[in-house]
Structure 1
Amino acid sequence: MIRHSRLSLPAAAILLACAAAQPAAAAGAAPAGSATVRTVSGLSPLPAGCGLPPGDGYTLNPNAEVLPVLARDPNRPWHLVTVFQQDRWNRYGSNGAVTAVSDDYGRTWQRSANLPAFSRCNGGTAANGGDYDVTTDHWVTVTPSGAAVAASFSLSRTGEVTAILVARSADGGRHWDAPVTLQRDDNPRFFNDRPTVTADPYRPGVVYAVWDRVDNQSTDTEENWVQPIYLAKSTDDGRTWTTSKVYDVPRNSGVIGTQLVPLADGTLLIGMHHETDTEAATQVIRSTDGGRTWSAPTLNVPAPFAVGVTIPDPDNSGDPVRNASLPLLAAQPGTQVVHAVWQSQAADGTFHVAYSRSTDGGRNWSGPARVDRTPSGSAAVPVVAVSQTGTVAVTYYDFRNNTPDPVTLPTDLWAVTCAKDCTQPGAWREQHIEGPFDARRVPATSAGRLVGDYSGLVSTGGNFVAVYGAATTDAANPVDIHSATFSG
């Protein structure tokens, strides 16, 4: 079955002032064709010794932050919220989650006054609903009212207890309420995984969360499992929720990486990765009745398996890069135009960024086009965003600057942008964002080095802002989350 499972902000440097009112239009601007990179780094803000001790194959990576996501206030584009994993384990997530906000288009960041109680290290208890060993797979959105809603996959260290939680912040990410449990299973037959949360920008008060939930009834002699989609909906700005299974799958198949995108006409789309025992596909499904019923896949493109297939190591060192990147969607505001990206695999085994576009609300899609500019080897962890005017940006890592030294793996972050004719690979322009940094210094997992399963990317008008993980040269502080602003 599928079942996958820094902007760290030091106390001394966190506090770069946040603007209380809208900043000047030039704030966060970058010269054409260049990226402005900000680093806000430091040691973990989690209480010392708060997590379980290493042992039984579990290794902690202190002061390592990974897998950031990013959201923008739909009515205040200068206001950004990010959430990321803090103190990553080699298996099943991290000790805690950290959230931070920017009020100047990502120029400066401030850690939240309190953190969402997604784990014990985040202040979770049985009383407040956050009594879990570890937390992972976070997502965040901002509603039209300015409230932030973050999601977590929280679990016991062994994965026998799994839950999907959401927490709400009425002030846009500065202070967080106690989490709400959307689904919890104590029976290891079930395994909740990989949530995303999306505020509907066209319907104030409506927020959706989607995730997959394994139901494994296999025996020693018979395989019998499914991994369908669950959806929770809030109509009161993320305060209360109703949960139901909304999309079933045939026996011995499942989906993961579900992301819901609302369109202006009320259509809802879910992008996802689907697998059986023998094949895998990138898919998109549609709902026109608020998520009660869903179409057959309208985008259905063969894809590499999401589990157990690592990024080919340029050095053949036996220390590969984890590959759990899954499809992502971005809809141009107020239109029926939707963009999809995912990792494709070439005949030589390398991975690349595949792109497709729909101009009719997800009914029909263009043929996949490769849009990364990686000259050799693989491009990894693609994410996508689109501006109000239709400029599309995609970021990804690659290893083109690798050296013959097998001990290191120089890695860079790149962006490609396109303003028109985006179904044509030649329409995309590449920019260097940051690097190289040594990917051999990022946390190791059972599936390879965790450069990222995803990162954050939003449009702030004329520019794009990315948040992403980058290794440092400080052994005591091995990974930071960086923020970069670049033009379209």
Structure 2
Amino acid sequence: MVAATTLLAFAFAAPAASADGTDPAAVVPVSGTSALPQGCGLPEGDGYVLNPNTEVQPMVARDPKRPWRLVTVYQQDRWNRYGGNGTGTAVSDDYGATWRRSANQPAFSRCDGGTAANGGDYDVTTDHWVTMTPSGAAVAASFSLSRTGEVTAILVSRSGDGGDHWGAPVTLQRDDDARFFNDRPAITADPYHPGTVYAVWDRVDTQPSGAWVQPVYMAKSTDDGRTWTTKKVYDFPANSGVIGTELVPMADGTLLIGMHHETDTAAATQVIRSTDGGATWSAPTLNVAAPMAVGTRIPDPDDSGDPVRNATLPLLAARPGSKVVNAVWPSQDADGTFHVAYARSADNGKTWSAPVRVDKTPTGSAAVPAIAVSPGGTVAITYYDFRNNTSAATLPTDFWAVTCADDCTKPASWRERHIEGPFNARTVPATSSGRMLGDYTGLVSTGSSFVAVYGVATGQAANPVDIHSATFYN
């Protein structure tokens, strides 16, 4: 069964039964129009184009203290280049059935209320991530920067009341030298060690010789996200590095980082391990060839020259209290189409099953996979695809989920259901690397169900892209 809501809980009539036989989604807008001050942010010009009333790339987290509470964070008013003018945050107190905007948003940019005094004096913000600690606090991360990218920073903001009110940001790393470029943070509360929270990201170093390196940085908090220490934890040879880092704690204390590794000529999905709290890290235990993230795009099924942005970033989901961890990432076939690859480890990330394709897309690409796992071990993966595309004038796009309860290393074990769509992806924000559905979407288990939080095109010129939420069952 599928039930979909928007974060602001406007209601629409439920559609007829889906062609695949699953229950239809009852869709309501999540985000509506922008809550940012009108006219905030830099003016358009010099190739910079603003997409007002667009919300993209959400992440969602569940409160372990109050399991009915969910928090989502996303980009608000996306630019065609780096990031958006500000941040959107919303809270649900009924397992995702309805949502409300937070009383304020983290001050990750000037449009969010950021100033030099409170640490949020940035032109734009992007790559938001959120986690919830065992105490019920929400902690959000942001990549905040100048519009040109010459100043970059990784910030975190804490909400002691679970996402309703957000405190002033804390700077984990800031660089004013264009040689360095901080990028794509992820933040994770350790469910087994209350008070411990980790943030990881990559930091590009373009050296005077022209060589580059992109190591992993980690910040750690032991006081529930209030104060932090930062250090580089994993380095690479010249002309190589990673993006899309995500840290996952395991029940025995092992820490895993999933990441997308690239050189000038090749790319791979990798997982590294630490058994000493992040002081040292193993060589990759999962190391699978993957498509390049830089310069590649998801093929346009109409060959119109208006492709979809590639989001070649791996994600991990560990079954609570176990040694089992699941990995998902985009793979690429010889014909250039993208699909959803999956692998599983049953020994805390030491060894991995052979990758298998789990999307059910009959033709073309499946894009932007996300993953979550229930306490009982059911795995859910969501993705977009273009199977209903019929015209070069538009790009009909649907949002899907596959679930597996057992024997998930076999493609036949995965059951697909339709979540929402089709909608026209040619109306989502254009970027220099294609139309932006997002580099990730949010997905979380609520025990007996999963809640997905994702972006859709509305077909409304004044409010072209919203965040929606959908609940589906194991």
Give the TM-score category using the shorter length.
over 0.9
Q: Is the 8 A contact 2:128 2:143 kept in 1?
A: yes
Write the letter of the residue equivalent to 2:254: T
Pair 1:267 & 2:257 matched:
no
Structure 2 residue aligned with 1:22: none
Note the C-alpha offset of 1:225. 1.0
Q: Percent identity?
A: 77
Give the SS at the match of 2:111.
helix
Q: Is the 8 A contact 2:5 2:470 kept in 1?
A: no
Corresponding residue to 1:400 among 368, 384, 387: 387
CA distance in 2, matches of 1:455, 1:218: 36
- Mean Cα displacement is larger for which, 32-41 or 297-306? 32-41
Write the letter of the residue equivalent to 1:279: A
Unaligned runs of 5+ in 2: 12-20
Corresponding residue to 1:452 among 417, 438, 446: 438
Structure 2 residue aligned with 1:481: 467
**TM-score normalised per structure 2:** 0.95
4+ residue runs over 6 A deviation: 6-10
Write the letter of the residue equivalent to 2:199: A
Structure 1 residue aligned with 2:447: 461
Q: Deviations over 1:358-396 (max 9, x none)?
A: 000000000000000000000000000000000000000
Matches within 5 A, 1:203-242: 203-219=193-209, 223-242=210-229
CA distance in 2, matches of 1:183, 1:127: 17
Q: Is the 8 A contact 1:325 1:454 kept in 2?
A: no
Give the SS at the match of 1:60.
coil
Structure 1 residue aligned with 2:458: 472
Write the letter of the residue equivalent to 1:485: T
Structure 2 residue aligned with 1:90: 80
Q: Deviations over 1:413-460 (max 9, x none)?
A: 000000000000000000000000000010000000001110000000
Q: Is the 8 A contact 1:197 1:208 kept in 2?
A: yes
Structure 1 residue aligned with 2:308: 321
Unaligned runs of 5+ in 1: 1-5, 16-30
Q: Deviations over 1:320-377 (max 9, x none)?
A: 0000230000000000000000000001110000000000000000000000000000
Structure 2 residue aligned with 1:189: 179
Structure 2 residue aligned with 1:199: 189
Note the C-alpha offset of 1:319. 0.5
Note the C-alpha offset of 1:484. 0.2
Cα distance change of structure 1 residues 226 and 7 upon mapping to structure 2, 3 Å threshold: farther
Give the SS at the match of 1:61.
coil
Write the letter of the residue equivalent to 1:104: D
CA distance in 2, matches of 1:351, 1:42: 31
Corresponding residue to 1:311 among 298, 303, 306: 298
Corresponding residue to 1:348 among 314, 335, 340: 335
Matches within 5 A, 1:244-259: 244-259=231-246
Matches within 5 A, 1:436-451: 436-451=422-437
Corresponding residue to 2:420 among 434, 437, 442: 434
Structure 1 residue aligned with 2:158: 168
CA distance in 1, matches of 2:373, 2:169: 30
CA distance in 2, matches of 1:209, 1:352: 28
Note the C-alpha offset of 1:278. 1.3
Q: Is the 8 A contact 1:310 1:323 kept in 2?
A: yes
Q: Deviations over 1:136-156 (max 9, x none)?
A: 000000000000000000000
Note the C-alpha offset of 1:39. 2.3
Pair 1:129 & 2:116 matched:
no
CA distance in 1, matches of 2:274, 2:66: 29
CA distance in 2, matches of 1:354, 1:218: 38
Cα distance change of structure 1 residues 14 and 122 upon mapping to structure 2, 3 Å threshold: farther
CA distance in 1, matches of 2:56, 2:354: 32
Write the letter of the residue equivalent to 1:396: Y
Q: Deviations over 1:191-212 (max 9, x none)?
A: 0000000000010000000000
Give me the CA root mean square deviation.
Answer: 1.6
CA distance in 2, matches of 1:189, 1:290: 30
Q: Is the 8 A contact 2:255 2:277 kept in 1?
A: yes
Matches within 5 A, 1:335-414: 335-403=322-390, 405-414=391-400
Q: Is the 8 A contact 2:5 2:26 kept in 1?
A: no
Give the SS at the match of 1:62.
coil
CA distance in 1, matches of 2:32, 2:437: 19
Structure 1 residue aligned with 2:136: 146
Corresponding residue to 2:103 among 98, 113, 137: 113
Pair 1:44 & 2:65 matched:
no
CA distance in 2, matches of 1:214, 1:272: 15
Give the SS at the match of 2:426.
helix
Note the C-alpha offset of 1:58. 0.5
Write the letter of the residue equivalent to 1:270: I
Q: Deviations over 1:1-32 (max 9, x none)?
A: xxxxx99867xx789xxxxxxxxxxxxxxx97
CA distance in 2, matches of 1:392, 1:36: 23
Give the SS at the match of 2:412.
helix
Give the SS at the match of 1:46.
coil
* Greater relative contact order (CA < 8 Å, ≥ 6 in sequence): 1
**TM-score normalised per structure 1:** 0.93
Q: Is the 8 A contact 1:36 1:485 kept in 2?
A: no
CA distance in 1, matches of 2:371, 2:277: 24
Q: Deviations over 1:49-85 (max 9, x none)?
A: 1110001110000000000000011232211000000
Write the letter of the residue equivalent to 1:46: L
CA distance in 2, matches of 1:206, 1:383: 24
Q: Is the 8 A contact 1:101 1:110 kept in 2?
A: yes
Write the letter of the residue equivalent to 1:448: G
Q: What count of residue pairs does the alignment treat as equivalent?
A: 462
CA distance in 1, matches of 2:172, 2:6: 28
Structure 1 residue aligned with 2:94: 104
Note the C-alpha offset of 1:34. 5.2
Note the C-alpha offset of 1:308. 1.1
